[in-house]
Structure formats: structure tokens, C-alpha cells
Structure 1
Amino acid sequence: MGLTGILLAAGKSTRLGRDKLSVVMPDGRALAAWSLEAALGSTLERVICVVKPEDTLSWMPREWLSSASYAYQSEAKLLISICDDYAMGMAHSLHCGLQTAKQYEPDGYMIMLADQPLIETSQINEIKTIFQTHKQSDYVAATDCAGGKPPVAFRSHLLGQLLSLSGDEGARRIMHNPQFTGTYVPFSAPSFWDADTEEELERIVRHIEYDHSSRDTHPLK
């Protein structure tokens, strides 16, 4: 029951040219650790982190890795799902996460991206709260006023639709389907910034450094 998060962390980092998950951020942690911490700190019942087989998980803080499960465990907060066919496209990584998540029979699945380090725990919680209160909505998605974007939570009856995605096809196909209704939650533009290129990565780092310097009493999270 409840809402299960699926953090997609099995990308190829083709455009960046190096492993984006392990890029060291201004606070000394890896980029993907920011995204994972936001998810684990939320009220999601559990988080499925989808990774590729060759990922050493060196980007993941040791305390999280030591408590993670690789198989069904009813009390586990963090599960690692290894996706052998990640190179076939993002949809296949999503399928791996869904296959792991559905064992828990959740009310829904929240899709998140590991390369969006500026997503915050409070935003994930907001999506979950609206998902719980707007029961007429088939999905609840974040938005920058240009359509729905991750984090996006889909109700369990859309599992078949999600599993029908293929290649690099994202969940936008479902959100664009007039058969389904959604609720959109506005987030600030930086929340959606990803690290696909060096320029985009530099923009994220500058934003973090500026935010840190402008908040004297708040250390980097």
C-alpha cells in the first residue's frame, strides 16, 4: 500500500561524457546522492533505486548502501533494482523499477530522476499529499507550466500503461492521453534542472553555491 518511489539512476550519461551520478557537488557528496536523499527523507513508503549492472554505487553514502535490500523485504526503505537492459532506453529502466515495486502492491508509483539534484524532500511530500487528497486524479505531476514532469505519481491502475512504454519513451504519453486526468503542481524552474551537459551541470553548481552563500545559517543539505 502507500506510494512507492522509483528513482531512475541507470542513464548512460552520453551527452555529459562522464558518469553524472558520481559528479562531486559543492558539499562533497555525489550528485545522485542529493536526489536519493530527497527521496529517502520523504514520506514515501519506500524508494526503488534503478541502477545499471556495472554501477559500483560508489556515489551512494555507505550508510544507505549498507541498509539497502536487493530483493523483496517488507520493511526496507531503500531497494536496489539492477536493470540489465538499461541501454535499450529509459522505459526499460522504469520497467525494472516497476517490477520491483509492484511486489509491495502500492497505491501508486512516483517516478523521479537521479540527475535532478535540486528536487527537495518537501516537494516530493507535496506531490504525495496531493496524490492522497485528489483521488479523482489518475496522476499528480510537477510542472514548470510547460506540461507535467518528474516527480510524477501514477495510480496503480496505470501500471499496464507504464509497462507499455518502450525505448526512451517517457511517461508524457500517458499524461497527454485525454483518457486520463491529472493534477499539476507548480515548482520553480531550477527544480527541473538536470545535468545532461557540462553547461547544465555548471548552472546547477552555481545555483547551489549562490544559495549556500545567501543563507548564512543554513549549511548545504
Structure 2
Amino acid sequence: MRLTGIVLAAGKSSRLGRDKLSIVMPDGKCLAAWTLEAALNSDLEQIICVVKPEDSLAWIPSVHLNVASYSITPITPDTRTRLRIAICTDYAYGMAMSLQCGILSAMAYRTEGVMVILADQPLLQAQDINRVAEALAANKRCDYAAATDGEGGKPPVAFREHMLGPLLSLSGDEGARRIMLNSKYAGTHVSLSDYCFWDADTEPELERILDYVNGLS
């Protein structure tokens, strides 16, 4: 199944009070680069990274940034690359705007579906992304497949192409969860390890991530 990943990296980091994307991890890479590379190492066909206009993109490793294309560039055989940067000018109006920006960019690929991934969950692995994608492919009658920690569906979540319309109808800070809570849509859940869902919204949450990574070395 040809899926396009949408990595949402245009958040305001308001709860943390500083740019979470560029926080340096123990290996010297930035926090959001871990998530982006998990997506790039997965079986997703293309990756669209949604960013703010003022983002310097310094958090993206040069090996990926140097070969990326941009949403302002038409997709042609010469410019089509696996990583595409989509600049969301309306990110301040809520997550739905970032999601819409990514979906509109993904539609240019004539994709069979999209997978929504949050940039601030650095412990997510490529195999976790693949498991969610495989669940959607295997369950033909499902509109979506979502990861879960036992408390409902959560990102990463993959949607079939016919779900792009409902996703585009979201507004404000509404995320994909509203779609998953709608009983008219059928979904399947994939259980992932708790740490896959750890984000860096606050300093204690960031410390938990860093402590976990340091404990692996």
C-alpha cells in the first residue's frame, strides 16, 4: 500500500517554552530529527515534513535536507524526492492547519493514503511506523489504523485516501483524534510500547526521554 507520511513539525512549543525540535539528543542529532529519520527509514513511500515559515530547518540533518524538495516546487520527474518540505503559513491557527498543509501536499503524489506522525515523539521507530501501515493494508474494511497504548487511537495513525476529505474539514486545534472518535468510521489499533508515545511537551517529559535514551547506552 502506497502511503505518504506527514510529519507535523510546525507546533509552537508553548508548553515547553523553547523550541523542542532543536533539542540536542545524546547522539548529537536534534530531537525531531530522530522522528524524521524513523519515518525516512520506514516503508512509507514519501515523507512530507510540515514546518513553520520561520523554521531555519537546522534540526534536519544535511544529508536529508540537501536532497529535499519543497511544496512551492511543482512535482516533476526531476524534482520528485522522497522528502518534501511543506511550509505552513497558518500554523498559528492550530494543528488542523498543519495537517491540511501536509494533506494538500500529499495529494500531489496521488497517494493511497497518509500517515500522520508527530515530530516530538523521538522514541518512535521505523518498525512501529511499518506495523501501523501494515495493519491498514491488511484490514481492507478499515478507514484508518492507529497506534495505541491501550487508551484509544493515537499517532502514528494511517488513513485511506477517501478519508482525506474528512481530515481537511478539521479546524483549529482539532487533530485526527476527532475522526477516530466518529463512529461512522471504522479503525483498527496497533499496540506499541509506552515510550513510543512519549513527547517533549514539558521539561519533566523531556527529561524522561533523555533519561531513557541515556539508559540505553
TM-score (norm 1): 0.94
CA–CA separation in structure 2 for the residues paired with 1:129 and 1:172: 20
Q: Is 1:66 aligned to 2:58, yes or no?
A: no
Does structure 1 residue 54 correspond to structure 2 residue 54? yes
The one-letter code matched in structure 2 to 1:14 is S
For 1:168 and 1:29, locate their aligned partners in 2 and report how far apart those are by CA, in whole Å.
29
Structure 1 counterpart of 2:103, from 73, 98, 106: 98
Aligned with 2:140 (options 132, 135, 140): 135
Which one-letter code corresponds to 2:142 in the other structure? S
Query: Which of residues 146, 170, 177 in structure 2 aligns to 1:172?
Result: 177
Structure 1 residue 31 corresponds to structure 2 residue 36: no
Identity fraction in percent: 60
Aligned mates of 1:178, 1:22 — CA distance in 2: 38
What amino acid sits opposite 2:158 in the alignment? A
Q: Measure the CA separation in 1 of the matches of 2:29 and 2:100.
A: 28
Deviation at 1:211, TM superposition (A): 1.9
Unaligned segments of structure 2, at least 5 residues? none
Inter-partner Cα distance in structure 2 for 1:130 and 1:142: 10
2:14 partner amino acid: T
**One of 108, 132, 146 as aligned partner of 2:151:** 146
Shift of 1:128: 1.2
Provide the C-alpha distance between the structure 2 equivalents of 1:172 and 1:16, rounded to a whole number of angstroms. Answer: 22
Structure 1: gaps of 5 or more residues: 213-221
Question: CA-to-partner distance for each residue in 1:141-190, whole Å, 9 max, x for gaps?
Answer: 00000000000001110111000111111111111111111010001111
Residue 193 of structure 1, aligned match among 184, 187, 198: 198
User: Residues 29 and 73 of structure 1: is their aligned pair in 2 closer, same or farther, counting only changes over 3 Å?
Assistant: farther
Name the CA distance, whole Å, in 2 between partners of 1:69 and 1:135.
Answer: 32
Q: CA RMSD in A?
A: 1.0
Q: CA deviation at 1:23?
A: 0.2
For 1:204 and 1:40, the matched residues in 2 are separated by: 21
**Number of paired residues?**
212
Matches of residues 76-115 of structure 1 in structure 2 within 5 Å?
76-115=81-120
Off by >3 Å, runs of 4+ in structure 1: none
Residue 22 of structure 1 aligns with which residue?
22
Amino acid at match of 2:6: I
Match of 2:13 in 1: 13
Given residue 116 of structure 1, which amino acid in structure 2 is its aligned partner? Q
In structure 2, relative to structure 1, the CA distance for the partners of 1:20 and 1:152 (3 Å cut) is same
Instruction: Report deviation, 1:73.
Output: 4.3
